[in-house]
Amino acid sequence: MERTADPDLILGEYPGAVAPEREYMVPAGQVNIAVHEWGSAGAAPLFLVHGGFDFARTYDVFAPLLAAAGWRVIGWDQRGHGDSDQTELYSWDGDMRDAMAVMDSVTSRPAPAIGHSKGGALMIQLADAQPFRFSHLINIDGIPNKRPLPDVSDHERTRMMVGDVENWLDLRRKVVSAERRPGTLVDLARRRGRMNPRLSLEWLQHLVTVGARHDPDGWRWKIDPSMRFGGFGPWRPEWTTTRLPGLAMPFLGILAGVQEVMGFGTLLHHVTPFLAEGSRCEVLDDAGHFLHIEQPDLVSTMVLDFLGDNG
């Protein structure tokens, strides 16, 4: 254990956590995206996509288990998160463009992708639109589901978009000079614990050390203070579910059996009717939304069995 000058900060290695072997930036238009890699640079690539208000280093235990099986594991911080650039606006389309930029920088061949939460929903949308990028798709508690609503006319959709953009710009004006509230390492860990009550304080403190910056007045999460869930524009969670039947690649969904506030509340019977032939969905009864953090050995084994030989 190493004690720093901050009396509230004690740094130690979290069991099983491994820092990425390589970290670099990929330009996605005018936005620089921070990429983190585990495993041999010459191995077959496997992409990891984090959820909303997270960052690639949330995979510090999970990713090394996949790398140890012979994969080159590539994660990235979505725009406005972690070490990637912040920008004026955020949207699902922007996140997908960033994902394509990272994937293109690594390989031109189909590769497996794993997405958690929002990252899982993003990858379903991208895999439906550009299936040539994917050899396999694994979704970790990232299948949004709500009661389907009647579609709206193009005119109404345009009106919704205008309203959403106006609301977003109003928010940007209010927070243009805002900063996240500082605190000690333990403060930030406990704040995060209100959203992640099943995760240990030790793990949450590790997240602070890799996902926050240590300013003179304390720690701050490296997330744009103007960020809010969902980006902008009319988008409905059920649109993700209805893309499942069209997926052309092998698909594995892993749902949390314990519902949490950050999850989508999706149950197995919500997903099963939409699965394409050859796809499957499993439930881990004793795991919450961050099941790859709660049970990394089990989830990594399920993923590796599903992927088979990486050649």
State pLDDT tens for residues 135-161: 999 999 999 987 554 555 666 667 767
Give the per-residue pLDDT at 166: 78
Record the tokens describing residue 14, joined without a space: 């979290």
Q: CATH 3.40.50.1820: does it fit domain 2-151+222-307? A: yes
Residue spans of the domains in the chain: they are 2-151+222-307
Give the per-residue pLDDT at 120: 96
Question: SS3 string of the chain?
Answer: CEECCCCCCEECCCCCCCCCCEEEEEEECCEEEEEEEECCCCCEEEEEECCCCCCHHHHCCHHHHHHHCCEEEEEECCCCECCCCCCCCCCHHHHHHHHHHHHHHHCCCCEEEEEECHHHHHHHHHHHHCHHHEEEEEEECCCCCCCCCCCCCHHHHHHHHHHHHHHHHHHHHHHCCCCCCCECHHHHHHHHHHHCCCCCHHHHHHHHHHHEEEECCEEEECECCCCCCCCCCCCCCHHHHCCHHHCCCCEEEEEECCCCCCCCCCCHHHHHHHCCCCCEEEEECCCCCCHHHHCHHHHHHHHHHHHCCCC
Give the phi and the psi of residue 78 in degrees, each rounded to 5. -65, 155
Record the tokens describing residue 299, joined without a space: 């989830």
C-alpha 38/C-alpha 71 separation (Å) is: 8
C-alpha 136/C-alpha 46 separation (Å) is: 10
Give the per-residue pLDDT at 227: 79
Give the per-residue pLDDT at 2: 32
Q: How many residues does the chain have?
A: 311
Convert the pLDDT of each residue in 43-72 to its tens digit.
Answer: 999 999 999 999 999 999 999 999 999 999
Give the per-residue pLDDT at 174: 74
pTM of the shown model: 0.90
Residues (pLDDT < 50) of the chain are 1-11, 149
